[in-house]
Amino acid sequence: MTESELNRETKKPRPAWLDWVQIFAVAAVLAFVLNTFLIANARVPTGSMITTIMPGDRVIGSRLSYRFEDPARGDIIIFYAPDEPETLYVKRIIGLPGDKVTIRDGHVYLNDSETPLEESYIKEPMKPAALQEFQVPEGAYFCMGDNRNGSVDARYWKNHYVYRDKIVAKVLFRYWPGIKALK
């Protein structure tokens, strides 16, 4: 009998529970890496994004999206709220750095345009309110909910702008209660 055959015969079998521990450890490390560096998982508790995202929906965002491109008008983002830095919000980017955002007669206008912003994702017209104007600073974004009549967004925040370093991820899709690509 060779030495390797002798070693195989005398080697004790590995306990099954050790295999399970190894599987769970690898799964936990993978989940941590995914959630910390690649994706952001968020539950939307309010109706501020109705009908695009409904209360209770869960969404996945890419943490890598804005490492390779700048945030764009119309992107739905997950970010730390300007007035509540520990709270994550989900809203849509309306104003880009340097934009002048004017809200008048229930419409959004950009950079003194006479034509309102085209917003096909709005399902209900915004109720007219007092004239509001915002000058978006460099490195910041002006965000609003799609449910304009039921959204506490940049129009009402004390700190109106979301700075780029507070953006966590670009929302890609809803995965609960069913999978749906978002744009």
**HSE-up of 16 (CA within 13 Å, CB side)?**
0
Q: Which residues are catalytic?
A: 48, 91
> How much of the chain is helix, strand and coil, in % rounded to 5?
20, 30, 50
177 prior amide bond cis, ω within 30: yes
User: 146, 122 in Cβ contact below 8 A?
Assistant: yes
Instruction: Please say whether the dihedral angle defined by the alpha carbons of residues 41, 42, 43 and 49, taken in this order, is positive or negative.
Output: negative
Matching residue, tokens 């998982």: 41
